[in-house]
Structure formats: C-alpha cells, structure tokens
Amino acid sequence: MDSQFLEELKDTFSIVFRDVSLLETAFTHSSYVNEHRQLKLSDNERLEFLGDAVLELIISEYLFARYPDYPEGKLSKLRSSIVREESLSKFAVECHFDKYIQLGKGEENSGGRTRPSLLCDLFEAFLGALLMDQGLEAVRKFVKQVMYPKVESGAFDHEMDFKTRLQEVLQRHGDVKIEYRLVNEVGPAHEREFFMEVYSDNAKIGAGSGKSKKLAEQAAAENALGFVK
C-alpha cells in the first residue's frame, strides 16, 4: 500500500490499519484483478457489500437520534440523499481515496478514477475494511468526522426528494403524467444496479441509476431537474 496514503490516514483520521492487506483489498478494483490474474489478488466487492450495510446502520442510528421529530418517511429520504452514489463519491474524493485505488488500464483510460459509481463503491469498501480491522466504533468515528458535519450544515436538506421537486416543477401549470420506467438492471443479486428513465406525458426527460429502484428514480428525477424549467 502506498506509504503516503498510510500517512494521510494516520495524520488526518488517526487510522492505522493492523492488517494492511484489508486496506489493499479495499483499494483494488476488479479491473486491476482481471489484468493481474497471476498475482491472485482479491477485488473490493465483498468489502463494499459489508461497508454498504454498516454505513446504512450508522447513518440510520445517527439520524434517528439527531432528528427525534422526523417521521419515518422523512428520515428515509434524508438517509437516501446521504448514502446515494453521488454523495459517497464526493466523500471519497474529499478523503483523497480516488488517488490511491488500483485500476486496470482499460478502466483507468476510460475515466474510472472519476466515475461516481466506482468511487462510491470504493468509499463503502474502505468502511468494510475498517470494520473488519478495527470494529464498529472505528467506522462510527470515521463517519462522524467525515460525514456528520455535512449533514449538520444542511448540505442534504434540499436533496431529500428530487421526485417531489420534479413533480412540483412539472405540474405548476396543470396536471401532467409522470412515469418512471425501469430500463435495465445489471450485476449480481447483492450488488444490483438499476437504470431508470423518467417520462413526462410520454416524453423522456431524464435518466439515472442507483442501487435500488427508489434510488434510481431519485437519480432520474435529479437528472430531469437539470433540464426542466
């Protein structure tokens, strides 16, 4: 593992991995493994699966305690905006994770180092590795340092429900038919990616993807909002 990155983790987050191989796996993309089969490496997909689960638990626990007056629906929407792909990819960049992931040449050349879905997976894989190496409290401490300040600054308040905002914009001058259509889904059952398109009166106005149909709908609505006036 890059010694500069190890120093960054120590200096910025007071994190020192006991088992550095876990960290190395978290920062190894499947494309790198496929291009270096002779090394018999493992990619970060299993750690991503674990990190995704622990992050949802920690954020749910945090929001439940911080917003005692919020109903379940509002808590769910806020959590979704925090843990969605675009948000986590930005956290990965802020932590400089994008600099240190190992990518295959093809993935590197196609812009993988800046791809939101890849960076989101990387962030979750790091959390999974940290959980395995140091336990739940270490992950909670890291999330508190990196993510909570953004929540408390209100950075996600306006992103809580893109579908509602899109509906409000489209129906300012009367009723229109808004429809979300699932156009594709890829990946294994534990790591599904859903692709959704949104239509207004049968005209396509946006598209997006996410790890659930609901998140994909939100992404499509957000995309549409960039074009609808």
Least Cα distance to 154 among 215, 66, 94, 57 occurs for 66
Catalytic residue among 52, 98, 197, 222: 52
Establish whether 24 is a catalytic residue: no
The answer to whether 94 and 178 have CB atoms below 8 angstroms apart is: no
Residues listed for the chain = 229
| 157 included as an active-site residue | no
CA-CA distance, 79 to 84, in Å (whole number)? 8
- CA dist., res. 166 & res. 179, Å (int): 11
User: Catalytic pick from 121, 124, 159, 217?
Assistant: 124
Tell me how far apart the alpha carbons of residues 2 and 206 are, in angstroms, rounded to a whole number: 40
Residues annotated as part of the active site: 52, 124
